[in-house]
Structure 1
Amino acid sequence: MGSFSIWHWLIVLLIFVLVFGTKKLTNIGKDLGGAVKGFKDGIKEGTSSTDAPAVPPQQVTATKVNDPNTVDVDAKTKS
């Protein structure tokens, strides 16, 4: 009752081809494949960066420079 046969899926595919055309379906397939590939590459890059040793952050020197573009501000929390 809840399962579709192959004929149902072929009719649905035929309607999709008639509505969207083969060129749009091809473009959608290429876009979807590119998105999946980009996702996989992103996952690989994310896991490979954890295997590499962490580089310590650079230390900032405490020299005061009188730069006219620098604004000195004190951040306060609102209570």
Structure 2
Amino acid sequence: MGSLSATHWLLIALVFVLLFGAKRLPDAARGLGRSLRIFKSEMQEMQTEGGKSAPSAGTSTASTPQAPAELPSAQPTANPAAQANPDLHKA
């Protein structure tokens, strides 16, 4: 009940070929490889950026909470669609 044997892997490969076709499998594998390379490079970039921006243990940073920005007040309009494109409502 441990790992899969060679016959299990062959059966799985056969099912994939039957489901997706022999032409689409190389394209799918190529796309998966590109995705994994992009993911790996992004993870490495995040790790290098994380090391640069982390404050050192000896320094203390006092942060003051910032007040939330005010949102503009919403003015009710009679018909926003008619104001956005008046040509649509001409008959």
State the TM-score, normalized to the length of structure 1.
Answer: 0.52
| 1:47/1:6 CA distance change after superposition, 3 Å | same
Q: Which ranges of structure 2 fall in alignment gaps of 5 or more residues?
A: 55-68, 72-91
Cα deviation digits, residues 40-72 of structure 1 (max 9, x gap): 111111122234468xxxxxxxxxxxxxxxxxx
Corresponding residue of 1:41: 41
Comparing both chains, which one has the higher relative contact order based on Cα–Cα distances under 8 Å and sequence gaps of 6 or more? Answer: 1
Q: 2 CA distance for matches of 1:51 and 1:6?
A: 43
| TM norm structure 2 | 0.47
Q: Indicate yes or no: 2:23 matched with 1:23.
A: yes
Q: CA deviation at 1:17?
A: 1.1
Could you tell me how far 1:5 is from its partner in structure 2?
Answer: 2.7
Structure 2 partner of 1:57 = none
Report Cα offsets for 1:4-41 as digits up to 9, x if no partner. Answer: 43212212211221221122111111111111111111
Q: CA RMSD for the aligned pairs?
A: 2.7
Superposed, which structure 2 residues align to 1:1-79 within 5 Å? 2-3=1-2, 4-52=4-52, 75=70
- Once the two structures are aligned, what percentage of the paired residues are identical? 32
In the alignment, structure 1 segments of 5+ residues that lack a partner are 55-73
